[in-house]
Structure 1
Amino acid sequence: MQRRWKTLILSLTLPAVLGLGACADVSTTQTGAVGVNRKQRMLLSSDQVEEISAKAYQQEETKLRGAGKLNTDPALTARVRRVSDRLIRQATVFRPDAARWKWEVNVANAPNELNAYAMAGGKIMVYSGLMTKLNLSDDELAAVIGHEMAHALREHSRESMSQEYAQQMGLSVVGALAGLNESQLNLAAMATDVALSKPHSRTMENEADTMGLELMARAGYNPQAAISVWNKMMAQGQGGGIEFLSTHPSGPSRIDNLRRHLPQVMPLYEAARKR
Structure 2
Amino acid sequence: MQIRLRQSLVKSLFIILTGLSLTSCETVQTTQSGVVSVDRKQMMAVSSQDIDAASSQTYAKLIAEERSKGTLNRDSSQVSRVRAIANRLIAQTPAFRPEARNWDWEVNVITSPEVNAWCMPGGKIAVYTGLIQSLQASDDELAAVIGHEMAHALREHARERASEQAVAGAGISILAAVTGVGDVAQKGMEYAYMGLLGLPNSRRHETEADRIGVELAARAGYDPRATITLWQKMGQVAGGEPIKFLSTHPSREDRMSDLTVYSQRVMPLYEQNRRK
What is the TM-score normalised by the length of structure 2?
Answer: 0.89
CA distance in 2, matches of 1:200, 1:169: 18
> Structure 1 segments of 4 or more deviating over 4 A?
none
What SS class does the counterpart of residue 236 from structure 1 fall into? helix
User: Partners in 1 of 2:211 and 2:195 — Cα distance?
Assistant: 24
Aligned residue type for 1:253: D
The range that moved more, 32-41 or 65-74, is 65-74
1:245 to 1:121, Cα distance in 2 relative to 1, 3 A: same
Q: Is the 8 A contact 1:233 1:239 kept in 2?
A: no
**Within 2, Cα distance between the matches of 1:233 and 1:242?**
17
Counterpart mapping for 1:1-275 below 5 A: 22-111=24-113, 113-237=114-238, 240-273=241-274
- State the SS of the aligned residue for 1:106: strand
CA positional deviation for 1:48: 2.2
Secondary structure (helix, strand or coil) at the match of 2:224 reads coil
Q: By how many angstroms is 1:173 displaced?
A: 0.4
Deviation at 1:263, TM superposition (A): 2.7
Q: How far apart are residue 125 of structure 1 and its match?
A: 1.0
Q: Which has the larger radius of gyration?
A: 2
Q: Which runs of 5+ in 1 are unaligned?
A: 1-20
Deviation at 1:79, TM superposition (A): 1.0
1:262 Cα offset (Å) = 2.2
Residues 239 and 250 of structure 1 are in contact (CA less than 8 Å); yes or no, is this contact kept in structure 2? Answer: no
**Residue correspondences, number:** 254
TM-score norm. by structure 1 comes to 0.89
**Residues 1:274 and 1:144: Cα distance change in structure 2 (over 3 Å):** closer
Cα separation, partners in 2 of 1:238 and 1:160, compared to 1, 3 Å: farther
What amino acid sits opposite 1:47 in the alignment?
Q
46-55 or 96-105, larger mean C-alpha shift: 46-55
Q: C-alpha separation between the residues in 2 aligned to 1:134 and 1:40?
A: 34
Q: How far apart, in 1, do the equivalents of 2:53 and 2:164 lie?
A: 19
Shift of 1:22: 3.1
CA separation of 1:132 and 1:244: change in aligned 2, threshold 3 A? same
Residue 183 of structure 1 deviates from its aligned partner by 2.4
Cα 1:104–1:117 change in 2 (3 A) is same
Tell me if structure 1 keeps the 8 A contact 2:225–2:264: no
* Residue 136 to residue 271, structure 1, CA distance change in 2 (3 Å): same
Q: Answer yes or no: is the 8 Å Cα contact 1:240–1:252 preserved in 2.
A: no
Percent same amino acid at aligned positions? 47
CA contact (8 A) 2:221 2:275 kept: no
Paired residues of 1:118 and 1:148 also in contact (CA < 8 A): yes
Q: From the superposition, tell whether residues 50 and 239 of structure 1 become closer, same or farther in structure 2 (CA, over 3 Å).
A: farther
The range that moved more, 223-232 or 69-78, is 69-78
